Structure 1
Amino acid sequence: MRLFVAVYPPPESVGHLGAQVARLRVGAAAAAGTNVRLADPAHLHVTLAFLGDVEAARLVEVESALGLAAEGFRDGRNALPRFSLGGGGRFGHCRSTVLWVGLRGEVEALHVLAGLVRSRLAQARLPCDDRPFRPHLTVARPGDRMDLADIEADQADLDDYQGPEWPATELLLIRSHFDSRRSRYDRLAAWPL
């Protein structure tokens, strides 16, 4: 099973961001039929840890580790951390260019949660990527199907974007499936924050 751990923004924030993306050059390109691969709004999430392929027999260990991480995060907290989507950036270049929106607000709390998740996975000797945590939501994968100047202009527009505030309410374990046409995500378990 291909697994990752995430926090999802609420539908209101996703809808607000979707309206912003539609106004961007990447949104216009998608509306004109260019294959810029806009992210499916139902799948917009902040990945805290990517486990990759995990044997089904180890699912109970994964769930136990994540339950302990969520419990550790809740200890001593009086309120849920609050965020808003805002700021923009891009990863990669040429064919692998990705346009993303960042998070604002109590972002340090998200770094703490990601650290707890990764630490608990490591303690259980479960796989987990070791890339630095950079909270973001991928909004499009324009690759080289758009001019770089247009992508940079969209990035600048996202830098000025500020979505509505929302609380992170739960930690989710997600299974991803990929085929040649699209990806599908299944929610396997959730823990309150």
Structure 2
Amino acid sequence: MNEQIPAATIRVFIALAPPDDAKEELAQALRPAYEAYPRLRWNRIEDWHITLAFLGELPRSAVSLLQPPLAELAARHRPLHLALRGSGHFDERVLWSGIGGDLEGLRLLAGEVRTLVKEHGVAFADRPLNPHLTLARARRDDTSSVVQAAAGLSAFTGRTWPAERLHLVGSNYGRGPGPIQYRDVDSWPFSGR
């Protein structure tokens, strides 16, 4: 029998996820871009997320140690009211949707998450928070598509929705060639008053 042995490490990040109806609203607005720019590598709608802290490759034991304190942090917080708004790009290679709503609350939450991770001995590249939701990536020879797609989506304004859970997400499940796969390692409701 050829059983797959789980990897000793996992690539993880901590994020928020828009609800399905908010994602579908954006997907509807993206339909012309999907047709106009088929060579872009579009992220799957079920994988859309707002990263608060990218931790990178960690031993599974370190990931397990983070779960209880992340659950406690989520229990202290109320849901954040956010929206998907506008668009832009990073280096003409990555197309994203912007985030609107309670950005101050989002920045405070990200700061608390990052502090908690550091306090538990996990080193990571602590880059400034630039709230966004990644939609697609360009192939090296097709960066103009990202710029044009961003311009076409710049006026998008989605409805406001509550971010109700904190997610610890693992990526590259399967570790083979092909698209990146994401899966919740765990998630916790925001239940603070």
CA separation in 2, counterparts of 1:131 and 1:100? 17
CA RMSD for the aligned pairs?
1.7
Counterparts in 2 of 1:23-42, with a 5 A limit?
23-24=32-33, 27-30=35-38, 34=39, 36-42=40-46
- In the alignment, structure 1 residue 3 sits paired with structure 2 residue 2: no
2:137/2:146 contact within 8 Å kept: no
Show structure 1 runs of 4+ deviating over 6 A. Answer: none
What SS class does the counterpart of residue 83 from structure 2 fall into? strand
CA separation in 1, counterparts of 2:139 and 2:87? 16
Unaligned ranges ≥5, structure 1: none
- In the alignment, structure 1 residue 128 sits paired with structure 2 residue 133: no
Structure 2 match to 1:118: 114
- In the alignment, structure 1 residue 183 sits paired with structure 2 residue 180: yes
1:68/1:120 contact within 8 Å kept: no
Structure 1 match to 2:24: 15
1:65/1:124 contact within 8 Å kept: no
Per-residue CA distance 1:43-100 (angstroms, 9 max, x = gap): 000011111111112223211332243244x2xx5xx22111012111124xxx0000
- In the alignment, structure 1 residue 158 sits paired with structure 2 residue 167: no
Counting helix residues as a fraction of each chain, which structure ranks higher?
1
Question: What is the deviation of 1:118?
Answer: 0.2
1:65/1:117 contact within 8 Å kept: no
Structure 1 match to 2:4: none
Structure 1 match to 2:80: 81
1:175/1:188 contact within 8 Å kept: yes
What SS class does the counterpart of residue 42 from structure 2 fall into? coil
Per-residue CA distance 1:117-152 (angstroms, 9 max, x = gap): 00000111113321111111111112344362x433
